[in-house]
Homo-oligomer: A and B are copies of this chain.
């Protein structure tokens, strides 16, 4: 399939696909007229990339997962490099959460000081 079809099926823009290629995450055969040609495996790779991006991974983070899939593994997370990224991302996320919790407490304290009686509870907190 060509880039337009892959884009539609993967739910991304053609711009994004070219960018992934430029970043070395996907490659494309070229037909005689210079058009990029993709197969079902490429769709799989793009789906993996999208899934990772939506949970906050960067394209660089996604690289081991793509390589893992290309190596024939059932999932992109099956390789030790991918597992290492998972763990790093977990610690990064935890760090961000801690930072936000501290900030939240600071802002809530400031609000309480400036506006006694103002509610400062988290939404959805019982």
Q: Which chain B positions have C-beta within 8 A of A108?
A: 90
- A contacts with B, residue count (CB < 8 A): 34
Assembly CA distance A104 to B100 (angstroms): 14
A33-55 interface (Cβ within 8 A of B): 55
Residues in B whose Cβ lies below 8 Å from that of A120: 90
Once A97-B97, A97-B101 are accepted as A-B contacts, the answer to whether A111 and B123 lie under 8 Å apart by CB is no
Question: How far does the alpha carbon of A63 sit from the alpha carbon of B37 in the complex, in Å?
Answer: 52
Indicate whether A86 reaches chain B with its CB closer than 8 angstroms: yes
Q: Which of A105-123 contact B (CB under 8 A)?
A: 106-108, 110-111, 113-115, 118, 120, 122-123
**Are A118 and B83 in contact, with the CB atoms below 8 A?**
yes
B110 pairs with A123, CB closer than 8 A: no
| Chain A window 90-102, contacts with chain B (Cβ cutoff 8 Å), 1 for yes, 0 for no | 1101101110110
B83 and A111: CB pair below 8 A?
yes
Please, which residues of chain B bring their CB within 8 A of the CB of A97? Answer: 97, 100-101, 104, 122
Closest A-B pairs by Cβ, 4 of them: A77-B114, A86-B111, A93-B104, A83-B115
